[in-house]
């Protein structure tokens, strides 16, 4: 494979600045194109994160990028509003590009199926940029579950609290516009939380009950959720989007141990079969940023941490949650095609 791997950033808003820093840290990759209809976003990213490099091409539209790409372009990194992801990812793979897609992968299970089928048909590398699965903490916890260190999983408890209603209010922020966001807090920070749980236990949800409260906005701000996963694992999730500060966490309880972490990793709290705190767990798993793992996979040096499977499992869960909230009743989920 020709190095460096050439990357185009599709979407140049605030989140794209973090992606640019991730890509800049990799000697095997280089950002060669920016695409965003907002010229101010595009030029700010070009100036602040790419040093106004004249070799970086800038595009007003995705069609322009696909029709006249930089020579040797290999990867399209999608960092656009949620409801645009599906069509953009499908087009990228149809044009022969590998895709890293910001979370959530899509905002409907029908679109998740379309993405999964396209990945299978084209054989392109495709990953979802949920941060948690790329961390060493999540890799460690997943390994502990698979090794039986927690025994049979019993319950999962999770929460996310922040002033989401306040900081996503008003233009140019699109997160309270359901035509672009697909939903509210549950599809933003909540998506990290739901994906994190799904990735850790690697199984589909089978039944859900969800209440939401929009707090005077067009989207969900607060949510209280109960979930039953395959294998009889029970869980509760609270999402509070109208409260100051930041607090979050996930706790998994098994009949032989318990373990907790943040929704983006960063810490581990583990208790063994005797209920004793494991003071220094031996964490040896690799820690990645999403682009770092993506590049390692393209070079054949690693396995994908968050492939399309988890976008499918996540979207199936989210469809059930929103259906339950709308109908005010428990919803049994159809089996996800994974």
Start-to-end C-alpha separation, the chain: 30
Nearest residue to 69 (alpha-carbon basis) of 36, 32, 102, 94:
32
Percent of the chain exceeding pLDDT 90 equals 97
Q: State the pLDDT at residue 335.
A: 85
Q: State the pLDDT at residue 157.
A: 98
| Domains identified in the chain and CATH numbers | 5-128 (3.40.50.720), 132-285+307-332 (3.30.360.10)
Q: State the pLDDT at residue 337.
A: 80
When the pLDDT of each residue in the chain is averaged and rounded to a whole number, the result is 97
pLDDT value at 171 more than 80: no
Exposed, middle or buried, 67 (CB in 10 Å: 0-12/13-18/19+)? exposed
**228 has which bridge partners?**
207, 234
DSSP code per residue over 134-200: GSHHHHHHHHHHHTTTT-SEEEEEEEEEE-HHHHT-STT--TT-HHHHSSSGGGTHHHHHHHHHHHH
pLDDT value at 311 more than 90: yes
pLDDT value at 338 more than 90: no
pLDDT digits (tens, 9 = 90+) for 200-230: 999 999 999 999 999 999 999 999 999 999 9
Q: State the pLDDT at residue 268.
A: 97
- For residue 107, the number of C-alpha atoms closer than 13 Å in the C-beta half-sphere is 20
Confidence of residue 2 (pLDDT cuts 50, 70, 90): confident
pLDDT value at 1 more than 90: no
pTM: 0.95
């Amino acid at each position: 494979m020709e190095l460096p791997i050439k990357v185009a950033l599709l979407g140049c808003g605030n989140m794209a600045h973090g992606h640019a820093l991730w890509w800049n840290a990799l000697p095997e990759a280089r950002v060669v194109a920016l695409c965003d209809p907002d010229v101010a976003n595009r030029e700010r990213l070009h100036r602040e994160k790419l040093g106004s490099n004249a070799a970086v091409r800038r595009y007003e539209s995705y069609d322009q990028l696909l029709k006249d790409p930089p020579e040797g372009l290999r990867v399209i990194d999608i960092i656009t509003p949620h409801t645009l992801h599906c069509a953009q990812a499908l087009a990228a793979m149809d044009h022969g590009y590998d895709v890293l897609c910001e979370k959530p992968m899509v905002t409907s299970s029908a679109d998740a199926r379309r993405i999964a089928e396209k990945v299978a048909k084209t054989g392109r590398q495709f990953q979802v940029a949920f941060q948690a699965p790329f961390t060493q903490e999540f890799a460690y916890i997943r390994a502990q579950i698979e090794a039986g260190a927690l025994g049979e999983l019993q319950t999962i408890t999770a929460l996310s609290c922040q002033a989401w209603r306040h900081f996503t209010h008003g233009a140019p922020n699109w997160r309270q516009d359901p035509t672009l966001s697909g939903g509210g807090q549950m599809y933003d920070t909540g998506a990290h939380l739901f994906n994190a749980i799904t990735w850790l236990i690697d199984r589909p949800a089978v039944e859900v009950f969800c209440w939401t409260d929009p707090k005077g906005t067009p989207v969900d701000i607060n949510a209280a959720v109960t979930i039953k996963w395959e294998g009889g694992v029970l869980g509760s999730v609270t999402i509070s989007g109208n409260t100051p500060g930041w607090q979050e966490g996930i706790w998994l309880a098994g009949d032989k141990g318990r373990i907790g972490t943040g929704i983006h990793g960063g810490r581990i709290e583990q208790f063994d079969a005797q209920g004793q705190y494991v003071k220094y767990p031996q964490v040896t798993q690799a820690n990645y940023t999403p682009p770092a793992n993506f590049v390692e996979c393209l070079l054949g040096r690693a396995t994908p941490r968050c492939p399309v499977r988890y976008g499918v499992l996540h979207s199936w869960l989210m469809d059930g949650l929103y259906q339950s909230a709308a109908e005010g009743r428990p919803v049994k989920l159809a089996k996800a095609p994974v």
